[in-house]
Amino acid sequence: MSIGDQVASAVSALLAGHLVAFPTETVYGLGADATNEVAVSRIFRTKGRPTNHPLIVHLAGIDAVDMWARDLPEYAWALANAFWPGPMTLVVNKRAGVSSLVTGGQDTVGLRVPSHPVAVELLDEFARRGGQGVAAPSANRFGQVSPTSADDVRSELGEYLLPGDLIVEGGNSHVGVESSIIDCTGIAPAIARPGAITREMVEAATGVELMEFDQRIRVSGSHSRHYSPRAEVVLDDAVEQGDGLIALSEFPTPPGAIRLLEAPSVEAYASGVYSALRRADQLGLGRVVAMTPPGEGLAVAVRDRLVRASHRRAGPVEP
14, 31 in Cβ contact below 8 A?
yes
Mean pLDDT (whole number) for 14-22: 98
pLDDT reading at 317 higher than 70: no
Q: What is the number of other CB atoms lying within 10 angstroms of the CB of residue 239? A: 23
Q: How far apart are the C-alpha atoms of 259 and 281, rounded to whole Å?
A: 13
CATH number for domain 3-206, candidates 3.20.20.70, 1.20.1250.20, 3.40.50.150, 3.90.870.10: 3.90.870.10
The sheet carrying 287-290 orders its strands as 232-235, 287-290, 244-248, 258-263
Which pLDDT does position 316 carry in this prediction? 33
pLDDT reading at 315 higher than 50: no
Mean pLDDT (whole number) for 169-178: 96
Phi/psi of residue 253, nearest 5 degrees: -90, 115
Which pLDDT does position 34 carry in this prediction? 98
Residue boundaries of the structural domains of the chain: 3-206, 232-309
Mean pLDDT (whole number) for 298-314: 85
Task: Report the predicted TM-score, pTM, of the whole model to 2 decimal places.
Answer: 0.93
Which pLDDT does position 226 carry in this prediction? 58
Which pLDDT does position 219 carry in this prediction? 83
Percent of the chain with pLDDT over 70: 95
SS3 86: coil
Q: How far apart are the C-alpha atoms of 103 and 176, rounded to whole Å?
A: 24
251-292 confidence digits (pLDDT tens): 999 999 999 999 999 999 999 999 999 999 999 999 999 999
Mean pLDDT (whole number) for 25-51: 97
Which pLDDT does position 222 carry in this prediction? 57
pLDDT reading at 26 higher than 80: yes
The rounded mean pLDDT for the chain is 94
Give the amino acid at 206: T
Which pLDDT does position 228 carry in this prediction? 81
